[in-house]
Amino acid sequence: MQLEDMILVSIDDHMIEPPDMYKNHVPAKWADKVPKVVRNDQGIDQWVFQGHATSTPFGMAATVGWPKEEWGFNPGAYSELRPGCFDVHERVKDMNANGVLASMNFPTMAGFNARTFNESEDKEISLVMLRAYNDWAIDEWAGAYPARFIPLGIVPMWDIDLAVEEVHRLGKKGCRSISFLETPHVQGFPSFLSGHWDPMLKAIVDEHMVLSLHIGGGFDVIKKAPEAPVDHLIVLACQISAITAQDLLFGPTLRRFPDLKVALSEGGIGWIPFYFDRIDRHYHNQAWLHHDADFGGKLPSEVFRDHILACYITDPSGLLLRDRIGLDIIAWECDYPHTDTTWPESPEFSWKELQDASCSDDEIHQITWQNACRFFDWDPFKHIDKEQASVGALRALAKDVDVTRMPKNEWRKRNEAAGIGVL
């Protein structure tokens, strides 16, 4: 096996929703209520919904086109972005250039857990727009290239019955996963431990879908020092996946739903051997807590493995201990267009890391696509031949794709001249 023979399925990337996303998905009576992109006096594009500027979904969320010196939390304009951020056809070209067969895309403007809609005032309108987001994301974005995108949706967190209803609606249209909040209690919602979310979890199980918990949403679970620099968020966000796992495992959400599947998106894998050592020792050592009964005779690490898919962008130490994690719960991700992405050298980057860890060919296939496809019960080869799905085959389609990083101003000039990213 060579680098070119790898097949890459990434279970964590992001779309920057395009300004016209609501065009086809909202009944006429709501047309003037949709979230809109407004360019302000400083040339900055902002999403506005129900009278509030909800986000400037750029800066750190869409750095893929820029040199590192231009990264930061500074907002920007659509025309400054690499078009693959918001245009699905350009996205597929960028995936080809990076040899990536398929991708699951998390929302930006809408929020990983539909935050924009959860926090708005008029819930009737919010529900319309949340559903329209899902219809756009699943039917229009993912639907344009069925071999290339694993459909992902969001649910209204403000009403558990509506959340259940939306899970079923999405399940019927082929959605494979729900993006939710890793530690709901830090955003003022009931925790996973409370049981409040159980009807929704049951619906997800009934639809054979996966609960995807992306890092970042629960960052406030850490009470950081007031002086903490931006490094804290970037470095520690992965550490929170252990807290999320702990909530689910000892909560006991996972034990209550034997068929629930949870993806810890961007959580990394290197923390897992340490966590397993700790929870299995805890199980044996703290016998007075009687977890032998709670876990049905299984070790906590076994229950974790029954339910959870972990994923990583770069994780050399974790790969060395892959046997202690479990080879069938490790998946790869690309994280386009965020700062952590390895685009456009993901194949080179990942191949070296997998080789450095002495992974066998079979292990590479498990990690780079098989685990993801099995876990999300999603088969790209219904739509594309396997020979056309490899890094080598996809890159052959993308010889004309320019992957050069360029300053924002240069993007703005080029894109605006071509009518791209113009409101």
Tell me whether residue 136 is exposed, middle or buried, using C-beta atoms within 10 angstroms of its C-beta: 0 to 12, 13 to 18, 19 or more: buried
The tokens for 154 are: 């969001």
Binding flag, residue 286, its own copies (CB under 8 A): yes
Give residues 39-78 in contact with its own copies (rule: CB under 8 A). Answer: 68-72
Give residues 316-375 in contact with its own copies (rule: CB under 8 A). Answer: 316-318, 320-321, 324, 339-340
Over the window 227 to 256, marking each residue x when it contacts its own copies by CB under 8 A and - when it does not, the resulting string is xxxxxx-xxx-xx--xx--xx--xx-----
The distance of closest approach from Cβ of residue 397 to its own copies in the complex, given in angstroms and rounded to an integer, is: 28
Rounded CA-CA distance 155/60 in Å is: 25
Rounded CA-CA distance 301/274 in Å is: 11
Binding flag, residue 299, its own copies (CB under 8 A): no
Binding flag, residue 287, its own copies (CB under 8 A): yes
Binding flag, residue 222, its own copies (CB under 8 A): yes
Choices 39-47, 49-57, 132-140, 282-290; region in contact with its own copies by CB under 8 A: 282-290
The count of chain residues that interact with its own copies, using the rule CB under 8 A, is 64
Tell me whether residue 145 is exposed, middle or buried, using C-beta atoms within 10 angstroms of its C-beta: 0 to 12, 13 to 18, 19 or more: middle
Binding flag, residue 220, its own copies (CB under 8 A): yes
State the pairing for strand pair 52-55/210-214: unpaired
Query: Long-range CB contacts (< 8 A, 24+ apart) of 397-406?
Result: 397/96, 398/93, 398/96, 398/97, 401/93, 401/94, 401/96, 401/97, 403/94, 403/97, 403/343, 403/344, 405/65, 405/66, 405/67, 406/65, 406/66, 406/67
The distance of closest approach from Cβ of residue 307 to its own copies in the complex, given in angstroms and rounded to an integer, is: 17
Rounded CA-CA distance 264/398 in Å is: 31
Chain position carrying tokens 């389609």: 397
Choices 157-165, 173-181, 224-232, 367-375; region in contact with its own copies by CB under 8 A: 224-232
Which position among 28, 124, 188, 288 is part of the footprint of its own copies (CB under 8 A)? 288
Which position among 49, 136, 149, 276 is part of the footprint of its own copies (CB under 8 A)? 276
Amino acid of residue 270: G
Residues of this chain that bind its own copies (CB under 8 A): 68-72, 183, 185-186, 191-194, 220-232, 234-236, 238-239, 242-243, 246-247, 250-251, 268, 270-271, 273-279, 281-282, 285-289, 291, 314-318, 320-321, 324, 339-340
